[in-house]
């Protein structure tokens, strides 16, 4: 098995995540699919760091994790606030800014 296979797996997971973002309407599930895309990108980073024999890819994956954690915290807080006021967590219903 060529270690390139990790890159193919990363591509598959990323496109599956993108599919989930487009299909699902529950805001939290959409958010989880975004997390899947971030994780797929992390896998690609680690594979490339192994290819080059340097640790920079792992450092970048580390920072991606940190930023993803911060993003999840704020994003879930926003979803909770929207749910509290509008009683719906569907992304189709958050349409007040629609012309």
Partner 1 sequence: MSAALLATQSAATHLLAGPVTSTGGGETFLFWVGASISVLGALGLIFSKKAVHSALCLAGVMICLALFYMAQGAVFLGVVQIVVYTGAIMMLFLFVLMLIGIDAPESLTETIRGQRWAAVLVAVLFGAILIGVFAHAKLGPFAGMDQANAAAGGNVPSLAHLLFARYFWAFEVSSAVLITSALGAMVLAHRERVTARRTQKELAADRFKRYSKDPSVIVTPMPNPGVYAQHNAVDTPALLPDGSIAQLSVNATLRAQGEVRGITPLPVPLPHEAADGDGASPAGANGSGRHEEVGA
Task: Give residues in contact with partner 1 (CB under 8 A).
Answer: 1-9, 11-20, 22-29, 31-33, 35-36, 39, 42-43, 46-47, 49-56, 58-59, 61-63, 65-74, 76-81, 83, 89-90, 92
Buried-state track 42-81, b at ≥16 Cβ within 10 A, e below 16: bbbbebbbeeeeeeebeebbeeeeeebeeeeeebeeebee
- Measured from the CB atom, the residue of 19 and 96 that comes closer to partner 1 is 19
Provide the β-strand partners of residue 67. Answer: none
In the numeric block, which tokens belong to residue 72? 């999840």
CB of 82 to partner 1, least distance (A): 10
CB of 96 to partner 1, least distance (A): 16
* Number of Cα atoms under 13 Å in the Cβ half of residue 5: 3
CB of 61 to partner 1, least distance (A): 6
CB of 90 to partner 1, least distance (A): 7
């Amino acid at each position: 098995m060529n270690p390139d296979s990790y890159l193919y797996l990363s591509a598959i997971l990323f496109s599956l995540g993108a599919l989930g973002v487009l299909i699902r309407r529950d805001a939290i599930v959409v958010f989880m699919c975004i997390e899947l895309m971030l994780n797929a990108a992390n896998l690609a980073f680690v594979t490339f760091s192994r290819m080059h024999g340097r640790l920079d890819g792992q450092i970048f994956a580390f920072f991606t994790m940190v930023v993803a954690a911060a993003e999840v915290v704020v994003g879930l807080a926003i979803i909770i606030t929207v749910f509290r006021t509008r009683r719906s967590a569907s992304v189709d219903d958050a349409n007040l800014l629609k012309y």
